[in-house]
Amino acid sequence: MKKKWLLAISLIFMALLLSACSAQTVGLYFAVESEGDFYLSAETRSIKPSPNIYQASLEQLVDGPKSSHLYATLPAGTRVIQVQVKDQLAIVDFSSDILTDTSIPHSSTTEKLALYSIVNTLTQFEEISRVKITIEGKSSGTIDGSNIEDFWGHIGLYEEFSTNEGIILSNEQ
């Protein structure tokens, strides 16, 4: 009887462990061109189990799209230093590469796509409704001659961002 009880507990524990270790499906938002304009479109990915699914998702976003019709929104050398979530606010800290690497041209269009690819990727999680971005732990000042709060020069990082559904390519467009 004791062996059956231990076996049952072991099987339950293994089932719980396997369910906790299964990959999570998320949508990562990348740029897409449609009728001469740019939007965001979600590419579905399975993210391996991680202590921080939000950071793992953003790291996949930095890695770029797998689909050939989508475009990266963030420089490939960018590191996601940390993502913390409290009271539905995700505070995301990136390396300075996000500011200084110009492999993605800095324009008002690419800046909007970059910011909302981050925000829309994170706000798909039920526990996140707003996103604040910092660079190397700072929300203001300069890094390598770039003003942190100006990001790429058009949209300031001094605010919190919420989902922008208007930038997502819908089936009607």
In tens, the pLDDT along 20-61 reads: 557 899 999 999 999 899 999 999 999 998 899 999 999 999
What span, in angstroms and rounded, lies between the C-alpha atoms of 79 and 149? Answer: 18
Task: Compute the average pLDDT of residues 80-99.
Answer: 97
Q: Which of 167, 154, 153, 69 is nearest to 118 (CA)?
A: 167
| Residue 46, helix vs strand vs coil | strand
What span, in angstroms and rounded, lies between the C-alpha atoms of 88 and 71? Answer: 29
Q: Is the dihedral of CA 129, 130, 136, 138 positive or negative?
A: negative
pLDDT category at 158 given cuts 50, 70, 90 is confident
Task: Compute the average pLDDT of residues 141-155.
Answer: 90
As given in the structure block, the two tokens for residue 150 are 């100006």
pLDDT category at 156 given cuts 50, 70, 90 is confident
Angle at 138 between CA 105 and CA 60, to 5 degrees: 55
What is the pLDDT, as a whole number, of residue 5? 47
pTM of the model: 0.85
CB atoms under 10 Å from CB of 17, counted, come to 9
Q: What percent of the chain has pLDDT over 90?
A: 75
